[in-house]
Each structure stands twice: as C-alpha cells, then as structure tokens.
Amino acid sequence: MKNKYHTLSISILCLALLMAACGQEPVPEAAPSPLPAPTEPAQESGDQWHLVVIGDSSLWRLGKAFAAQIEKDLGVEVVLADYALPELSAGQVLADLQRETPPYGRMRPEFAEDLRQAEVVVMFVNPRDSVDPGKPLDLEGCFTSRLPAACSPEAFEQYTADMKALWAEILALRGGEPAVLRATDLYNPLVSPWRDAGVFEACTGCWQNMSDAVRLAAEAYNIPFLSRLDAFNGPDHDEDPREKGFIHGDGEHPSELGAQFTAELLSQMGYEPVSPPEGATGVQGMAATPQGTLGPTTVQPDTPAPAAFYLSEPGP
C-alpha cells in the first residue's frame, strides 16, 4: 500500500511539472459552494387554523368550500367546525351562548370552545325567533310566493339587536384574541316564482330589509359584510341564481358551485382580523336591548313553524 501511495504522489508531481512547462497553472481544488439560504414559506406547514361556520341551511356546503379556499390561500391546515343546521335562528344560537354551561339546545357541547379556538368565523342565522310583539315580523309568505304579512325595517329591529348580541358573545369568548369574523345575508332563489305570483317587489324589499338588519349588526363591530343577495341576484336583485348554477337541484339551497362562489368572495375580502370599536369586546352595553333583556323575544310556541326553505333538509 505504501508503494502505491508513493507512486501516486510521483505521478501527481510529474503532472504539475508538465503543466508548468506548458505555461499553465495547476487547477486548484474548488472550495465547496455554500448552500442557498432556504426561502421562508408564507405559512409554516405545521400551521393550523380553525374555521367555524354558523348558519341555517342556506350555508350548507360553504364550510368545506371555504376551508379548502383558506388552505389554498394561506398554506395552512384548516379544521372545520360546521354549525350550519336546519332551522338555526339567531335566537336559538344566542340562547345557547348565554347558557352558563352546556348542554345547549341546538349546538354541540364544544360550540363555545370551537369559537374560542377559531381564527375564522362566518355567520348567517335567520330571524324567525327574533320577533318583537310590538313590531311583528312575518316574512314567511315569501317562501311560498305569497305576500309577506309584516316585513318593514322596524320589524327587523329585534333581529338586529339579537345579531349584535351574538357578535358580542363571540367577541367575549375570544377574550380579545384577534379573529377573522365575516357576516353574510340570505340570497333569493325564488326570483321566477315571485314574478309569476306578482310578489316580486314586496318580497324583494323584505329580503333587502333583512339584509340591512344583518349588515347593521356587523357594522357595530367593524365586521366585514358579504351580501349574497347582491352576489347571487345582482345589484338590482332581479337575477335568477338558478340560471347561474348557484342553486342546488332542490331549487332552494346553494349548489357546490354556489358554495364555491361564496368561498371565493370571502377569500377576496382578505383575512384581516376584526378590530372592534374600543369597549366592544363584551356583551355589556353593546346590544340594542337594555341590560337584563338581552336576547330574542320568541314567537309564541303554539305558532306553527312555516315551511321556509331555510328550515328544510338538503337535497341529494
């Protein structure tokens, strides 16, 4: 082995002398190049966000669509807590949140904890249990293409108060932690039936009053508001979302395309956490109803529930 190393050394020396004789410098051994600095990802692969969707059946299919959209936008893993339930009203959710401890009436036992963990909350719940007897609200005729019985802006004041109280409860559960809160309203899948029945103007005005009530409650906390009524039905609310493919085959609930469209609109609103007005992170003083009467005035229990589409089961 020693002779081999000796022979190799002589060969290398001869090669160096030969190159020098030819006027060439021996090529020095190249130093290893430093590795490029790793690029920092926008979000670490281990990041996890929690999305809570609270709604009646008009928000079916949105949870999965928006969770996938957030993952695409931010590169995070999204854990979905989907509380889009048939018949879910503002009054029902508010009553559950104001219970000191579970069990809740409609929501799962972990509802409050899901809200505490949530980075993103999207909500639309209907006004059927937010009725002031002094200012009655009855929009249910529109769901069967009849005139609404009582649908003035004043009739929605209790609904606005309950929605404000709901957002206040959510903010209180968050304890000052930032969250992406988003409010939305109700689209109209019944443009053609309303026209055929001659109730389009009256019912469209009713839907606009309901939308305004949701928006007013959201604005009280600087919560961005997405109008599905504008998005699905156009600026004059006279476009039929069924013709756009936004409505499921049952003629009422959002299709997968409609849910994806809504998710993309929410994405375009960005993911800036809500910064509520100073002092608006708790319930006290934020609801429109006086302290001690916070919450809905429920319709009389012997009143039969109308067959509104947001009360029905989803189609296949």
- pLDDT of res. 11: 42
CA distances from 128 to 15, 56, 66, 208, 243 (A): 95, 11, 26, 16, 28
Higher pLDDT, 18 or 218: 218
- pLDDT of res. 277: 81
Measured in degrees and rounded to the nearest 5, phi and psi for residue 156 equal -95, 5
The answer to whether residue 314 scores a pLDDT higher than 70 is no
- Give percent of the chain with pLDDT exceeding 90: 70
The answer to whether residue 226 scores a pLDDT higher than 90 is yes
The answer to whether residue 287 scores a pLDDT higher than 90 is no
Mean per-residue pLDDT, 196-206: 98
Q: Looking at the domain assignment, is residue 105 inside a domain?
A: yes
The answer to whether residue 30 scores a pLDDT higher than 50 is no
CA distances from 264 to 20, 68, 214 (A): 70, 10, 21
- Mean pLDDT lowest among 11-20, 173-182, 287-296: 287-296
**Rounded to whole angstroms, how far apart are CA atoms 6 and 141?**
104
Q: Looking at the domain assignment, is residue 116 inside a domain?
A: yes
Give the count of domains, the chain. 1
The answer to whether residue 313 scores a pLDDT higher than 70 is no
The answer to whether residue 291 scores a pLDDT higher than 50 is no
The answer to whether residue 23 scores a pLDDT higher than 50 is no
**Rounded to whole angstroms, how far apart are CA atoms 210 and 229?**
10
Contact 146, 90 (CB under 8 A): no
The answer to whether residue 242 scores a pLDDT higher than 80 is yes
311: confidence class by pLDDT, cuts 50, 70, 90: very low
- pLDDT of res. 46: 55
Amino acid at 291: Q
309: confidence class by pLDDT, cuts 50, 70, 90: very low
The answer to whether residue 85 scores a pLDDT higher than 50 is yes
Q: In CATH, what number is assigned to the domain containing residue 236?
A: 3.40.50.1110
Higher pLDDT, 102 or 31: 102
Mean per-residue pLDDT, 11-38: 39
Q: Looking at the domain assignment, is residue 131 inside a domain?
A: yes
What would the pLDDT profile of 99-150 be if each residue is shown by its tens digit? Answer: 878 888 999 999 999 999 999 999 999 999 999 999 999 999 999 999 999 9
The answer to whether residue 221 scores a pLDDT higher than 80 is yes
What is the domain extent for residue 123? 48-293
Q: Looking at the domain assignment, is residue 309 inside a domain?
A: no
Q: Looking at the domain assignment, is residue 35 inside a domain?
A: no
- pLDDT of res. 174: 92
- pTM of the entire predicted model: 0.77
Q: Looking at the domain assignment, is residue 62 inside a domain?
A: yes
The answer to whether residue 212 scores a pLDDT higher than 60 is yes
- Mean pLDDT lowest among 83-92, 267-276, 280-289: 280-289
- pLDDT of res. 294: 30
**Rounded to whole angstroms, how far apart are CA atoms 21 and 33?**
31
Task: State the average pLDDT for the chain.
Answer: 81
Q: Looking at the domain assignment, is residue 304 inside a domain?
A: no
The answer to whether residue 28 scores a pLDDT higher than 90 is no
Contact 85, 106 (CB under 8 A): yes
The 3-state DSSP class for residue 125 equals coil
- pLDDT of res. 185: 98
